[in-house]
């Protein structure tokens, strides 16, 4: 509470007033609803996180008691690992592609499909379908699409007379190929968030603008997008945190290969921490990832606060 | 009300004997339906003879099994008996105290039935016996006789490394893919490196390197193994897109008759059929096994084989009944049923005698005549070093790393473990 109060220019009296409000009106629901979620959260989120952080200071293979204290050695090993840089770079590429390609695409589709109508609903469902598919299933499907012998991609290439490479076995092509799948998989989700936002804009506002002779593009630019700001804020947040945690699409597609060139931070953690039974190393990766996520979340909040106050 | 209470009491009395049963949970990774059925049948026979013991056979898929086992063994839900491969991981499990020593429970007859190799494979460095060996496997060079004829390559000419390279070139010239490989999964690539090490360094050289003695895996023989591997890779002998192909893809590619050779375990005999487009694979009369080429000046014995030795381990909470079940399961009589259908090559004495599949028979003989049956290196060396071996093997197959760098990386991983 205090940190929020100092973080903004909230006056002392509002803080007091707010506290009193909490005391009187929300005490009962607080007592009623908080404990179950707090207990679950502690058991399944906080304690495992503390565990992982503890492992990161030990040399431990997963068996028996944790005794081999090594200080920050695991962290040093992670940072100097020959494949860690690639994993970080790839995760950042996913973030960039999500923000610069996936979200604009989702916005474009949302604006085109925000009207109601049977055929429009159908198209919407079609666009949303990939998102409902399990990640692993999507990965497997695209693995077949990309397969150089039997896949759809080489078939298309053959039809137009271009010799397609085995994209998932090619260091140059594997990342663009994965980015395409990510965009295909998640743009529908963001599109739905945007559509929900667009539909909450009162019709009169747009009607009035139209009567004033405002062009379509200007309506989008100056009315629609500003009015669904909160939807965009949520989408961007999901896109960034989702990108940092990307895992289950990569495993069936490329398994991080060829030559560990398509690892994300999480597949890197799984490959070198879990599968190779170096849980301390894995713990160190997860702590670093956690810190990165917290920084993103805090920075994002702060930036938004500033924008909101302006 | 009275009636209900009475009925309940009678009901309790009826299930009371069932509660007195000892439950044995045997976690397995068998996924071929007919093989699972056979396992269920053997368990049913056992339970008919031992009404006081109930055998349960939970299943986990191979990769899921590997990922889950560490946690499972340390939980209250640990299975009594579970599938295992001989090698590094099992020593860790023994050292952590999650296994039960069974040398005093297992009958001498059962010990004799798996032979000295079977006993030593499941004896940890602490001297205790923790498991029972079930099967052996060998990595061999499968080849397609039809394609050899087409390219005019004499299989006998492939027995030396130079002859082998010449043969590979002949296939290239004839427009036939010489070798299928599943390099995405990496372990299939590591068979090439391992076989070369078996030939070049031999048993003593490998054991010394694994202990980190001298130059370890950065030593001369291991660098040479990498160089020979690169010689092969330079010919671009693999199918197109081999870095994106998993084991199943490569196995199917060979089974479809698209590649002349496939360096793979004996299990590929069945898997190659399963993975092929028509599910028939290469007919027996067109299929052959080549010995891995010998290398002049190599320290290995020509009879040395590379493969696995699988079996089961007993977890900390396993009862004597669990041991009794495994003795029954692993008896010559029951293992002969597996041998008959060629699921694997049983280690139980005499069980393999009923094998009719000529390839399995030959592989069985190879192993029993071997001077050294090297366990898969990625398992023998433990998950961490093994992972690095697999990594560099895939790099070497792709001609993307120097032999020195590959050797150095493996040595570093070993040093890290010691």
Mind listing the pLDDT tens digit of every residue in chain A (310 residues)?
A: 334 444 444 455 555 555 555 566 678 888 888 999 999 999 999 999 999 999 999 998 888 888 889 999 999 999 999 999 999 999 999 999 999 999 999 999 999 988 877 888 889 999 999 999 999 999 999 999 998 878 898 888 888 888 888 899 889 999 999 999 999 999 999 999 999 999 999 989 989 998 998 888 899 989 999 999 989 998 999 999 899 999 999 999 988 989 899 999 999 999 999 888 889 999 999 999 999 999 999 998 888 767 666 5
Q: Give the distance from CA B170 to its chain's centroid.
A: 32
CA distance B240 to chain A (A): 8
User: Which pLDDT score is estimated for A23?
Assistant: 61
| Other Cβ atoms within 10 Å of A163 Cβ, number | 8
Number of H helices, E strands in chain B: 18, 10
Contact of B306 with B191, CB cutoff 8 Å: yes
Question: If DSSP codes are grouped into helix, strand and coil, which group holds residue B133?
Answer: strand
pLDDT band at B274 (very low <50, low <70, confident <90, very high): confident
Question: CA-based angle A59:A60:A62, to the nearest 5?
Answer: 170
Closest by Cβ to A169, choosing from B67, B71, B242: B242
Task: Say yes or no for a CB contact (<8 Å) between A148 and B243.
Answer: no
- Inter-chain CB pairs, A–B, below 8 Å: 78
A3: nearest Cα among A296, A310, A304, A302? A302
Smallest Cβ–Cβ distance between A63 and the set B98, B394, B398 belongs to B98
> Chain B within 8 Å of A61 (Cβ-Cβ)?
yes
Element (H, E) at B14: helix B2-19
- Say if residue B349's pLDDT is above 90: no
Q: How many CA atoms lie within 13 A of B48 on its CB side?
A: 6
Where are the alpha helices (H) located in B20-175, listed in sequence order?
Answer: 33-49, 62-73, 88-95, 108-121, 145-151, 161-173
8 A C-beta contact, residue B241 and residue A146: no
Q: Shortest CA distance to B33 belongs to which of B69, B63, B59?
A: B59
**Gap between the Cα atoms of B118 and B112, Å rounded:** 9
CB B287 within 8 A of CB B145: yes
* Whole-number Å distance between alpha carbons of B308 and B292: 17
Query: Taking 60 as the threshold, does the pLDDT of residue B13 lie above it?
Result: no
Name which of A64, A147, A168 is nearest B97 (Cβ-Cβ).
A64
SS3 of A165, please? coil
Closest B-chain CA to A168: B244
pLDDT band for B3, please (50, 70, 90 cuts). low
Beta bridge partners of B263: B141
**Can you give the pLDDT at residue A4?**
40
Q: What is the pLDDT of residue A6?
A: 41
**Distance between CA atoms of residues A102 and A219, nearest Å:** 22
Angle (CA) A18-A23-A26 rounded to 5° is 95
Mean pLDDT, chain B, rounded, equals 90
Residues in chain A: 310
For residue B377, which of B252, B240, B195 has the smallest C-alpha distance? B195
| pLDDT score at B293 | 96
Residue A62 Cα, gap to closest chain B Cα (Å): 6
Let me know: does B223 contact B324? Beta carbons within 8 Å.
no
Residue in B with minimal Cα distance to A83: B391
Task: Give the separation between CA A149 and CA B249, rounded to whole angstroms.
Answer: 10
Closest to B130 measured CA to CA, from B139, B119, B138: B119
Are B96 and A64 inside 8 Å of each other by CB? yes
Render the burial of B11-39: b for 16+ CB within 10 Å, e for the rest: eeeeeeeeeeebebbbbbbbeeeebeebb
3-class DSSP state of A194: helix
State how far the Cα of B169 lies from the Cα of B151, in Å rounded to an integer.
Answer: 10
Of A177-181, B33-37, B87-91, least confident by mean pLDDT is: B87-91
- Report how far residue B372's alpha carbon sits from residue B198's, in angstroms, rounded to the nearest whole number: 9
Q: Round to whole Å and give the CA distance between A88 and A264.
A: 6
List residues bridging with A289 in a β-sheet.
none
- For residues A255 and A267, what is the distance between their CA atoms, to the nearest angstrom? 8
Residue A13 Cα distances to A2, A19, B77, B169, B270, angstroms: 13, 10, 56, 86, 78
- Start-end of H helices in B174-319: 187-200, 202-210, 220-234, 247-255, 268-275
Kindly report, residue by residue over B97-131, the tens digit of the pLDDT. Answer: 999 999 999 999 999 998 888 888 899 889 999 99
B141, β-bridge pairs: B263, B290
Does the structure show a pLDDT above 70 at B216?
Answer: yes
Q: Tell me if B133 sits within 8 A of B197, measured CB to CB.
A: no
List b or e across B258-288, with b for residues whose CB sees 16 or more CB atoms inside 10 angstroms.
bbbbbbbbbbbbbbbbebbeeeebbeeeebb
Q: How far apart are CA A187 and CA A110, in angstroms?
A: 10
Q: Is residue A177 less than 8 Å (CB to CB) from chain B? A: no
Min Cα distance B389 → chain A (Å) is 12
Nearest Cα to Cα of residue B341 among B57, B132, B32? B32
Q: To 10 degrees, the CA torsion angle through A125, A130, A131, A137?
A: 140
Q: How many Å lie between the alpha carbon of A254 and the closest alpha carbon of chain B?
A: 7
CB B183 within 8 A of CB B212: no
Closest residue of chain A to B92, computed from CA coordinates: A63
What is the structure's pLDDT at B19?
52
By three-state DSSP, how is residue A122 classified? Answer: helix
Q: Taking a C-beta distance cutoff of 8 angstroms, is the pair B181, B261 a contact? A: no
Distance from CA of A102 to the nearest CA of B (A): 26
Q: How far is the C-alpha of A269 from the C-alpha of A286, rounded, in Å?
A: 7
Q: Length of chain B, please?
A: 418
B21 within 8 A of B54, measured Cβ to Cβ:
yes
Of A94, A57, A49, the C-alpha closest to A265 is A94
pLDDT at B399: 94
Question: What is the rounded CA–CA span in Å between residue B198 and residue B14?
Answer: 61
Distance CA B393, CA B225 (A): 11
Q: Are B383 and A166 a contacting pair at CB < 8 A?
A: no
The dihedral region occupied by B199, where left means phi > 0, alpha psi between -120 and 50, and beta the remainder, is alpha
Residues in chain A closer than 8 A to B65 (CB atoms): none
Q: How far apart are CA B299 and CA A295, in angstroms?
A: 57
CA–CA–CA angle B252, B258, B261 (5° rounding): 85
Say what the pLDDT of residue A147 is.
87
How do residues B282-310 score in pLDDT, each as one tens digit? 999 999 999 999 999 999 999 999 999 99
Q: What is the predicted pLDDT for the residue at A18? A: 56
- Partners of B84 in the β-ladder: B311
Looking from the CA of B113 toward its CB, the CA atoms found within 13 Å total 24
Cβ pair B70:A257 closer than 8 A? no
User: Which residue from A216, A219, A276, A268 is spatially nearest to B385, judged by alpha carbons?
Assistant: A276
Helix (H, G, I), strand (E, B) or coil at A211: helix
What is the C-alpha to C-alpha distance for residues B53 and B42, in angstroms, rounded to an integer? 13
**Phi, psi for residue A261 in degrees, rounded to 5:** -85, -10
Residues B11, B17, B20: CA angle, nearest 5 degrees: 125
Q: Do B92 and A276 touch (CB under 8 A)?
A: no
Integer Cα distance of B51 and B122 in angstroms: 29
Cis peptide before B270 (omega within 30 of 0): no
């Amino acid at each position: 509470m205090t940190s929020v109060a100092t973080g903004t220019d909230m006056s002392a009296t509002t803080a007091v007033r707010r506290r009193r409000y909490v005391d009187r009106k929300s005490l009962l629901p607080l007592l009623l609803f908080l404990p179950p979620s707090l207990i679950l959260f502690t058991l399944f989120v906080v304690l495992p996180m503390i565990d992982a952080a503890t492992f990161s200071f030990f040399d431990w293979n997963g068996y028996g008691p944790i005794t081999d204290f090594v200080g920050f050695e695991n962290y040093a090993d992670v940072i100097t690992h020959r494949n860690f840089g690639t994993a970080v770079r790839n995760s950042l590429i996913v973030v960039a592609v999500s923000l610069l390609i996936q979200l604009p695409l989702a916005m474009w589709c949302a604006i085109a499909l925000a009207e109601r109508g049977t055929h429009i609903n159908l198209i919407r469902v079609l666009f949303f379908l990939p998102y409902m598919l399990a990640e692993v299933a999507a990965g497997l499907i695209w693995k077949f699409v990309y397969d150089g012998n039997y896949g759809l991609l080489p078939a298309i290439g053959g039809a137009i007379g271009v010799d397609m490479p085995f994209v998932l076995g090619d260091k140059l092509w594997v990342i663009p190929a994965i980015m395409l799948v990510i965009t295909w998989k998640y743009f529908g989700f963001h599109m739905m968030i945007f559509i929900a936002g667009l539909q909450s804009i009162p019709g009169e506002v747009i009607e009035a603008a139209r009567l004033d002779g405002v062009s379509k593009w200007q309506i989008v630019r100056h009315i629609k997008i500003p009015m669904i700001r909160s939807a965009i804020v949520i989408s961007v947040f999901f896109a960034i945190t989702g990108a940092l945690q990307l895992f289950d699409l990569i495993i069936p597609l490329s398994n991080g290969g060829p030559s560990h060139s398509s690892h994300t931070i999480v597949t890197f953690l799984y490959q070198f921490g879990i599968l190779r039974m170096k849980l301390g190393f894995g713990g160190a990766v997860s702590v670093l990832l956690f810190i990165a996520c917290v920084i993103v979340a805090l920075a994002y909040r702060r930036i938004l606060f500033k924008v909101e106050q302006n | 009300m009275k009636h209900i209470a009475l009925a309940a009491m009678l009901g309790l009395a009826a299930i009371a004997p069932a509660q007195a049963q000892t439950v044995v949970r045997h976690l397995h990774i068998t996924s071929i339906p007919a093989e699972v059925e056979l396992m269920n049948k053997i368990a049913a026979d056992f339970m008919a003879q031992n009404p006081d013991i109930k055998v349960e056979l939970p299943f986990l898929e191979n990769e899921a099994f590997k990922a889950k086992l560490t946690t499972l063994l340390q939980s209250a839900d640990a299975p009594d008996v579970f599938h295992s491969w001989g090698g590094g991981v099992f020593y860790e499990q023994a050292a952590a105290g999650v296994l039960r020593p069974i040398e005093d429970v297992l009958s001498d007859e059962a010990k004799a039935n798996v032979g000295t190799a079977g006993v030593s494979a499941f004896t940890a460095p602490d001297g205790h016996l923790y498991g029972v060996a079930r099967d052996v496997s060998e990595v061999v060079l499968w080849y397609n006789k039809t394609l050899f004829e087409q390219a005019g390559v004499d299989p006998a000419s492939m027995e030396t490394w130079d002859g082998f390279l010449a043969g590979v070139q002949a296939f290239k010239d004839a427009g036939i893919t010489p070798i299928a490989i599943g390099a995405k999964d990496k372990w299939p690539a590591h068979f090439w490196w391992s076989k070369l090490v078996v030939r070049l360094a031999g048993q003593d050289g490998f054991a010394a390197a694994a202990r980190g003695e001298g130059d370890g895996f950065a030593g001369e023989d291991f660098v040479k193994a990498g160089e020979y591997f690169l010689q092969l890779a330079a010919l671009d002998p693999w199918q197109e897109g081999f870095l994106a192909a998993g084991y199943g893809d490569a196995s199917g590619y060979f089974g479809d008759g698209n590649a002349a050779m496939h360096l793979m375990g004996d299990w590929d005999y069945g898997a190659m059929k399963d993975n092929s487009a028509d599910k028939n694979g290469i007919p027996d009369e067109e299929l052959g096994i080549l010995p891995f080429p010998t290398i002049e000046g190599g320290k290995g014995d020509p009879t040395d084989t590379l493969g696995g030795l699988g079996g089961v381990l007993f977890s900390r909470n396993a009862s004597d009944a669990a041991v009794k079940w495994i003795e029954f399961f692993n008896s010559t009589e029951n293992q002969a049923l597996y041998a008959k259908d060629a699921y694997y090559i049983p280690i139980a004495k005499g069980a393999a005698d009923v094998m009719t599949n000529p390839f399995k028979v030959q592989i069985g003989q190879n192993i029993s005549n071997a001077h050294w049956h090297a366990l898969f290196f990625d398992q023998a060396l433990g998950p961490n070093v093994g992972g690095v071996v697999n990594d560099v093997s895939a790099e070497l197959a792709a001609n993307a790393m120097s032999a020195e760098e590959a050797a150095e990386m493996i040595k570093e991983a070993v040093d890290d473990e010691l």
